[in-house]
């Protein structure tokens, strides 16, 4: 699957699916970054508001669950997966 490229985009109050996407010089305000599987790239010039949260699904969620089991992840930083499909940005 080809990667979708976002350059200089501003995201606000959205669920942003990062799978198969590249984010360059982007700004995320009050967003949830959702990862399920697949390649992704976020460059060092992107910015995030302090209330940015993360959501995992599929293989990503299984990996997170494994890390949480061994206390390698702080509780509360990741949202539990939901059956509801996110509003996809990409």
Is 39 among the domain residues? yes
How many domains are there within the chain?
Answer: 1
Number of Cβ within 10 Å of residue 43's Cβ equals: 11
pLDDT number for residue 86: 47
Is 87 among the domain residues? no
Is 85 among the domain residues? no
Helix (H, G, I), strand (E, B) or coil at 58: helix
Is 88 among the domain residues? no
| Cβ(9)–Cβ(23) below 8 Å | yes
Is 80 among the domain residues? no
| Cβ(55)–Cβ(31) below 8 Å | no
Give residue 68's domain range: 4-74
pLDDT in tens, the chain (90 residues): 668 999 999 999 999 999 999 999 999 999 999 999 889 999 999 999 999 998 888 888 898 888 888 888 776 666 666 554 444 555
pTM: 0.74
Is 27 among the domain residues? yes
Instruction: With CA atoms as reference, report the closest residue to 56 among 26, 27, 35, 87.
Output: 35
């Amino acid at each position: 699957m080809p990667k979708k490229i976002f350059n200089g985009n501003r995201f606000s109050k959205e669920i942003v699916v990062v799978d198969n996407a590249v984010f360059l010089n982007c700004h995320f305000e009050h967003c949830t970054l959702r990862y399920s599987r697949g390649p992704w790239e976020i460059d060092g010039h992107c910015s995030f508001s302090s209330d940015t949260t993360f959501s995992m699904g599929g293989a990503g969620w299984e990996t997170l669950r494994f890390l949480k089991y061994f206390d390698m992840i702080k509780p509360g930083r990741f949202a539990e997966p939901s059956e509801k499909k996110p509003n996809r940005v990409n």
